[in-house]
Each structure stands twice: as structure tokens, then as C-alpha cells.
């Protein structure tokens, strides 16, 4: 269905976000409402960026909240944080220039976090931005957070030894993807990168060579977390990050456990989104998703106030969904993570073949292979419904199971022989098998070639990779087409290795449209991204949209305040508390 525009409250710039509802009623007949219209806004009233955050009904201080996860968090160093677990753990101990107020139902408000507002577009052209830093924000040792420590945090992200985090700010300030060749952090540790200044202790100023209208969103990422230079331990910072948030890391046992306890210098009056309900958070690593889910389902001892971070595994979906006693302890929600059958446009150059692939795909069959509606929801657009300005469309309407006749008609008697590169993981092998059978019924000949799971992402990012098709996924860094369409489809970014544009799609007219829309104020971009989304698919069909991930989570009976982040699609912990 086509979402309707909802008016924003006063004191905010209206944006539109479509996101399905969360529901606690996750029985066998439960569905995910991916058509529900939600609203998102950028706050313009400074009061929206003030604390304290509204109290969570029924929440009381005290207790230990446990998160059980199979694999460790890759980085706790904010400037290196880029995993979902890291992005949702970091707000517990770090503050950023801006952040999202999120009610768990997709209603988002971008507010100032360290900053008094989400930023001042000084000249109205998105080239110069200033952020006024709040009074009263302190580090864990009691010293105040100023613009200088925030600037230093951003500066250290230029260090190639600290790679792993997002690179928007570095590339925008340096005006080149090769930002570390433009400014050398190691040689300039007492200076700042070009375009970043601190006119005074409470002012942070960005100056760019071209418009960067999405800066308020980009600075909501952990790269803007502050750090005093004397607390910078380089590659070891992730073992003991220096807190500016409501909790501080008091124990770090690599691969085993992270303990976070209250930071007594955090001031709720400065924080519009976070609480400090539990005495401590414990991240426990090691148990498989099956083992973690079974522990939480059993609901014994400390696991009563625990959350299984990984989604309910396919092996347990039917059991959990069919148990009425668990319905109050499960969360079912769509996520912003979109999955595609990526077409290598360098190799598959015939538009009719790419269109035939879109008509042939059996999305309903694919969702069944993945585990059903508790795991995935079909999609036909480039941007997922959780994107600002999203508009639903289907450029190649083929019903839930594909239109094989239309696909054969486009192929005109040809039998294209295509190589599908697939990771050797069990899930991707199942998906590849389903897609191979599906496409061969439409007239294609598909050869599946396995890629080691831990090497697949690096390999498909190589421009000269040997595959015609591969499975890809993307979750935006903020819910805007600006962090989806140009990132994935701007041909000017294609290089020998490390490509996000894994379709190797390059259309000069579309590239020019990216520049035009990126120069618009954020409030005007949403509808333009939606138009461009549809145009790309109708004119070029560079990929086959497949499905969005669905989050299905189970938690203990005393774990309260958990909702699925409308931005990242995994559990948000800012409202977490332990029930008495």
C-alpha cells in the first residue's frame, strides 16, 4: 500500500518514515504490519534535545540486565564501531553529537545529544555547520565534555590503524574517499583535520567543499563520541573505552564478558534519550542462538532478566510462536535490513535479462525457506519501508511466486548461463538452492559456486569478481535514502576493491541525480529518494529486491523496556530495566 503523509508536531521539520509495527502478540497467526505509516522528524526546538528522558512506565532502578550473544562485539572503540551490536551497545557508555528519540514503533525524532540542537546550517547551503555543546555533560572522571574532545574523537577516526567504523565524516571533510592521504592523524595529533574547528569550548564547526545536508544524521553515529587525548590508548581503547554516557565499562574479558556499571557523573538532565535503570549491564558471549534462546525461554535465575540478542533461530521459531505462554516475552518487528539478489551489471549487460530475473523471482518461496513471516517479509523496492520518504511500488509485478511466462517472454528463447556466488554457510546455501531452482524454471541456467563465508564480503567487493549474481544485504546508517541509494549505486565510487556498489552499476544521469538530491535540505530529500528508487528499478533493474529481515526476539520475564531499534533493527537498550 502507498503510505500517507502524516503531519509533524510543531517545532520540528516533517519527514516521513514507514515502518511496520512491533507487536508482543506473536502467536502462530501473527503478521508484521509493513504497511503501517509512521512519522519521523528533525527537532528544531532546543527543548526536544533536553533531558531527562521520559520515565518508562513501571521501571525501577536496580538489578543486573544480561544480554546473551554468540559472538563478541567486534569493537567498543566508538570511532571503530560499525556492527549492530556495537552501535546499540555504544549509547550505554558514549554520547554523540546527535541521536534519535525512538518509541519502538518507528516514530523517530533526531535531537541533539552532546549538542543543544541537531545542528545549525549556518549559510543555508549545507556547507557550513555549527553545533553548540551542552553544559553539564561529563566524562566518567568528572571533567566536562567540550567541543575539543569531540573534535579529537573525530580526528582520530582518520587514523588507518583505527579502521572499521563509518567514513562519512572523514571523506566529507577531506573531500575525497582517500581521506587518510589528505590528512595524517599520526603526524598531526595536536591539530584537527581540514574543515573541522572549535572556535570556542562550546562550538564545533564543520566546513565542507560541497553541500552535506545529511550531516545531522551522520553525526548520530559513534564516530562523534568525545575522547580526551590523554585517554587515547589507540588500538587498545576498545578494551576500556572512556565513558561519557550513563554507564562505564568496569570489566572487559575478551570474547567472554563485558560488564558496564553506572557512571556517577552522568547527568540525566542533559540526556534526552537514555536512562540509568539497571545497576549494571552484562554482555555474555559464547552460547549459540539456540542455546541462548533456550536459556531465556527456561526463565531461570539470572536469565529471567536476560535478552537473547540474536533473533530466534529458525529451528525454534515454530516452538516459540506456538507457545502462548511466551507471547508476552517475544517481540516481532520489521527491520531496516534489506536483502537483494545483486546482479553484476558489468557482466549481465542486457537489460531484458535483468528484468527477466526480477519477474522470475519467487519471494513467497524464498521467505518459506528462510523460516516464514517471523524471519522475513517480501519487498520489491530498493529502499526498505523503514526509510524516510519510502513509497511502495512494484516495477515488475509478478505476484508472490513470480511470473515465469513474462520472464521467458523477455528472454526470447535465450537460456542465459549465469554464475551465482554463494557463501558456504548453511542459510545461504539453502537460499541459493531455492533461487537456482526458481530461476531455472524461468529459462535460466544457474551454476552455484561457493565462497568461504568469512571471505565473501571482501570478494564480492572486488570489481573484477567472477560472479554474475550474489546475495547481498544493506542496512542504512540512518533512515534516509542518502545512506542507501548513492552508497550502493553511484558508479563514480567504483574502485578496484572495497566497493559498496557491488552491482557495479554506473549511469551518469543517475549519478547526477544523486548530487542534486544530496544538495537538498533533509526535509525535502525523502520524496526525491523515493522517485529515484523507482526510476532506477524501472529504467535499469540493477538488482532484484528480495526481502527485509524481521526481528523475532525472546527475553526473560523480568527483562523490561526492550524494543527493536527503528534505525538499526536490533534491540535498543536505552529503556532497559529489570522488573521486580
Per the CB < 8 A criterion, the answer to whether 479 and 349 are in contact is no
The answer to whether the bond into 52 is cis (omega within 30° of 0) is yes
All domains of the chain in start order, with CATH: 50-278 (3.40.190.10), 334-550 (3.10.105.10)
CA distance 108 to 40: 4
Residue 491, φ and ψ in degrees, nearest 5: -70, -20
98 closest CA partner among 148, 48, 56, 143: 48
* Helix pair 351-360, 404-411: axis angle to 10 deg: 170
Residue 74, φ and ψ in degrees, nearest 5: -65, -40
287 closest CA partner among 258, 317, 305, 310: 310
Can you tell me which residue has the cell 537498550?
A: 573
CA distance 452 to 425: 8
Per-residue pLDDT, 510? 98
**Counting runs of H as helices and runs of E as strands, what totals does the chain give?**
15, 23
Per-residue pLDDT, 521? 86
DSSP lists the bridge partners of residue 447 as 419
DSSP state, residue 483: G
Per the CB < 8 A criterion, the answer to whether 369 and 434 are in contact is yes
CA distance 450 to 447: 10
Residues 6+ apart with CB under 8 A from 248: 93, 140, 260, 261, 262, 263
Region class of 401: left (phi > 0), else alpha (psi between -120 and 50), else beta: alpha
CA distance 5 to 22: 20
Exposed / middle / buried, residue 7 (Cβ in 10 Å: 0-12, 13-18, 19+)? exposed
Per-residue pLDDT, 78? 96
CA distance 236 to 137: 25
Can you tell me which residue has the cell 572523514?
A: 170
Q: What is the pTM of this model?
A: 0.86
28 closest CA partner among 326, 295, 427: 326
Strands 376-378 and 330-343: unpaired
To which H or E segment does residue 436 belong?
A: helix 426-441
Can you list the alpha helix ranges (DSSP code H) found in 30-109? 84-93
Q: Which three cell numbers stand for residue 48?
A: 526536544
Q: How far is CA 389 from CA 37, 148, 165, 545, 569, in A?
A: 11, 35, 26, 18, 18
Neighbours of 318 (CB within 10 A): 14
Per-residue pLDDT of the chain (580 residues; tens, 9 = 90+): 222 222 223 233 333 333 333 333 344 445 555 544 445 578 889 999 999 999 999 999 999 999 999 988 988 999 999 989 999 999 999 999 999 999 888 788 999 999 999 999 999 999 999 999 999 999 999 999 999 999 999 999 999 999 889 989 999 999 988 898 899 999 999 999 999 999 999 999 999 999 999 999 999 999 999 999 999 999 999 999 999 999 999 999 998 999 999 999 999 999 999 999 999 999 999 999 999 999 999 999 999 999 999 899 888 999 999 999 999 999 998 888 999 999 999 999 999 999 999 999 999 999 999 888 898 999 999 999 888 889 999 999 999 999 999 999 999 999 999 999 999 888 899 999 999 999 999 999 999 999 988 788 889 999 999 999 999 999 899 888 999 999 999 998 888 888 889 999 999 999 999 999 998 988 899 999 999 999 999 999 999 999 999 999 999 999 999 999 989 999 999 999 999 9
To which H or E segment does residue 547 belong?
A: strand 543-554
DSSP lists the bridge partners of residue 102 as 108
Per the CB < 8 A criterion, the answer to whether 307 and 555 are in contact is yes
Please state the three-class secondary structure of 243-311 as a single string.
Answer: CCCCEEEEEEECCCEEEEEECCCCCHHHCCCCCCCCCEEEEEECCCHHHHHHHHHHCCHHHHHEEECCC
CA distance 284 to 461: 32
Per the CB < 8 A criterion, the answer to whether 553 and 308 are in contact is yes
| Residue pLDDT, tens place only, 143-161 | 999 999 999 999 999 999 9
Per-residue pLDDT, 495? 85
Amino acid at each position: 500500500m502507498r503510505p500517507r503523509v502524516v503531519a509533524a508536531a510543531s517545532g520540528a521539520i516533517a519527514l516521513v518514515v514507514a515502518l511496520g509495527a512491533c507487536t508482543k502478540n506473536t502467536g502462530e497467526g501473527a503478521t508484521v504490519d509493513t504497511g503501517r505509516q509512521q512519522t519521523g522528524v528533525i527537532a528544531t526546538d532546543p527543548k526536544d534535545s533536553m533531558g531527562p528522558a521520559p520515565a518508562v512506565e513501571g521501571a525501577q532502578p536496580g538489578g543486573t540486565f544480561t544480554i546473551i550473544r554468540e559472538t563478541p562485539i567486534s569493537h567498543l572503540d566508538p570511532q571503530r564501531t560499525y556492527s549492530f551490536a556495537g552501535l546499540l551497545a555504544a549509547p550505554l557508555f558514549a554520547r554523540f553529537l546527535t541521536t534519535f528519540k525512538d518509541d519502538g514503533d518507528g516514530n523517530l525524532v533526531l535531537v541533539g545529544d552532546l549538542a543543544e540542537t541537531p545542528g545549525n546550517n549556518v549559510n543555508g547551503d549545507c556547507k557550513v555547520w555549527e553545533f553548540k555543546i551542552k553544559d553539564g555533560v561529563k566524562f566518567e572522571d568528572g571533567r566536562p565534555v567540550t567541543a575539543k574532545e569531540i573534535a579529537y574523537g573525530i580526528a582520530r577516526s582518520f587514523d588507518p590503524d583505527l579502521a572499521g567504523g563509518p567514513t562519512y565524516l572523514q571523506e566529507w571533510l577531506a573531500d575525497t574517499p582517500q581521506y587518510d592521504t589528505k590528512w595524517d592523524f599520526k603526524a598531526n595529533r595536536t591539530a584537527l583535520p581540514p574543515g573541522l574547528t572549535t572556535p570556542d569550548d562550546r562550538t564545533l564547526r564543520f566546513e565542507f567543499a560541497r553541500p552535506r545536508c545529511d550531516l545531522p544524521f551522520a553525526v548520530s553515529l559513534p564516530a562523534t563520541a568525545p575522547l580526551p587525548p590523554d585517554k587515547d590508548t589507540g588500538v587498545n581503547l576498545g578494551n576500556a573505552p572512556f565513558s561519557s554516557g550513563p554507564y562505564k565499562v568496569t570489566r572487559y574479558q575478551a570474547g567472554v564478558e563485558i560488564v558496564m556499571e553506572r557512571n556517577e557523573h552522568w547527568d540525566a538532565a542533559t540526556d534526552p534519550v537514555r536512562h540509568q535503570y539497571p545497576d549494571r549491564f552484562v554482555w555474555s558471549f559464547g552460547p549459540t542462538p539456540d542455546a541462548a534462546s533456550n536459556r531465556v525461554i527456561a526463565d531461570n535465575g539470572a536469565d529471567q532478566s536476560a535478552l537473547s540478542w540474536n533473533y530466534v533461530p529458525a529451528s525454534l521459531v515454530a516452538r516459540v510462536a506456538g507457545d502462548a505462554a511466551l507471547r508476552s516475552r517475544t517481540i516481532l518487528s520489521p527491520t531496516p535490513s534489506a536483502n537483494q539478489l545483486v546482479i553484476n551489471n558489468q557482466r549481465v549487460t542486457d537489460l531484458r535479462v535483468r528484468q527477466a530475473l526480477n519477474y522470475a523471482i519467487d519471494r513467497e518461496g524464498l521467505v518459506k525457506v528462510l523460516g516464514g513471516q517471523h524471519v522475513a517479509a517480501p519487498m520489491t523496492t530498493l529502499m526498505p519501508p523503514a526509510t524516510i520518504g519510502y513509497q511502495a511500488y512494484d516495477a515488475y509485478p509478478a505476484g508472490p511466486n513470480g511470473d515465469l511466462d513474462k520472464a521467458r517472454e523477455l528472454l526470447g528463447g535465450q537460456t542465459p548461463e549465469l554464475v551465482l556466488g554463494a557463501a558456504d554457510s548453511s542459510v545461504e546455501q539453502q537460499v541459493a538452492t531455492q533461487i537456482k531452482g526458481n530461476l531455472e524454471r524461468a529459462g535460466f541456467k544457474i551454476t552455484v559456486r561457493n565462497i568461504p563465508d568469512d571471505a565473501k564480503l571482501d570478494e564480492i567487493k572486488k570489481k573484477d569478481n567472477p560472479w554474475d549474481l550474489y546475495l547481498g544485504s544493506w542496512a542504512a546508517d540512518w533512515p534516509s535514502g542518502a545512506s542507501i541509494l548513492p552508497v550502493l549505486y553511484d558508479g563514480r565510487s567504483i574502485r578496484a576493491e572495497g566497493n559498496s556498489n557491488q552491482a557495479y552499476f554506473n549511469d551518469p544521469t543517475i549519478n547526477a541525480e544523486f548530487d542534486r538530491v544530496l544538495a537538498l535540505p533533509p526535509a525535502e530529500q525523502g520524496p526525491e529518494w523515493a522517485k529515484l528508487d523507482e526510476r532506477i528499478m524501472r529504467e535499469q533493474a540493477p538488482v532484484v529486491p528480495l526481502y527485509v529481515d524481521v526481528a523475532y526476539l525472546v527475553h526473560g520475564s523480568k527483562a523490561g523496556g526492550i524494543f527493536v531499534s527503528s534505525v538499526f533493527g536490533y534491540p535498543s537498550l536505552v529503556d532497559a530495566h529489570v522488573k521486580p
